Structure 1
């Protein structure tokens, strides 16, 4: 499996985890709880970890920058997919969710759908960068041979 397929596979997985969690939250009436959005970072971290782990297993790639880039590409693509999902949800299923987002402390204000898109994009990009660097701390010395003294 080449790297592009790995990126797409795990970006879709992250998106499905975030979307599934959102739908589960909606079923329990918790979609208005902004604190639950912090769990999205957990799903991003899981996806980044898996894509890097698979790349090391399949391609034997241990270069820090290559794997960091792979994590970034995967998480950024997942963010874009997720934002498209949120916009689709607002436009096609529940237009009132725009008010819920505007009333959350994470966004706050009277923003248009385009402004919320930009806000979510910035928030998602930040979590992608931070998440990729966090996960790479576990893999930064993966290619180093530990010598026994």
Structure 2
């Protein structure tokens, strides 16, 4: 599987998990709780992990920088798609949600939709880099493990 397909597949999957979690939260009436937004980081990290794991297993790519870049691109795609989803939700479905986001401790201000977009982009990109580096801490010696595993079989 090409790296662009991996990025697309797992970027969309992360976005679907975040969106599904939001709608589930709305269904049970806790969607305005700002603390639940921290759980989005779990979906991001899990998606990055799966993308890197898929790249290692299918493409035999063990280069740290390549996999770090793949993780960053995957999560960045999901952040952008998720922000577009939030903006669409506020603009088309529930404009009052912008008020509840402005009143949360994470944003706390009177942001316009454009300012909200920028705020969520900065917040999301921070999770992209943190999540990618956390995942790569697990895989940083993966190429050495593979090399030693193959050399021990001879």
SS in 2 for 1:32: coil
Distance in 2 between residues matched to 1:119 and 1:139, nearest whole Å: 30
Matches within 5 A, 1:110-125: 110-125=110-125
**5+ unaligned residues in a row in structure 1: which ranges?**
none
TM-score, length basis structure 1:
0.97
State whether structure 2 residue 81 is matched by structure 1 residue 81.
yes
TM-score, length basis structure 2:
0.94
The number of aligned residues is 148
**5+ unaligned residues in a row in structure 2: which ranges?**
none
* 1:88 to partner: Cα distance: 0.5
Once superposed, which parts of structure 1, at least 4 consecutive aligned residues long, lie more than 2 Å away? 145-148
SS in 2 for 1:110: coil
* 1:20 to partner: Cα distance: 0.1
State whether structure 2 residue 107 is matched by structure 1 residue 107.
yes
User: Partner of 1:30 in structure 2?
Assistant: 30
Q: Deviations over 1:97-142 (max 9, x none)?
A: 0001000000011110000000000000000000000000000000
State whether structure 2 residue 66 is matched by structure 1 residue 69.
no
User: Partner of 1:134 in structure 2?
Assistant: 134
User: Partner of 1:59 in structure 2?
Assistant: 59
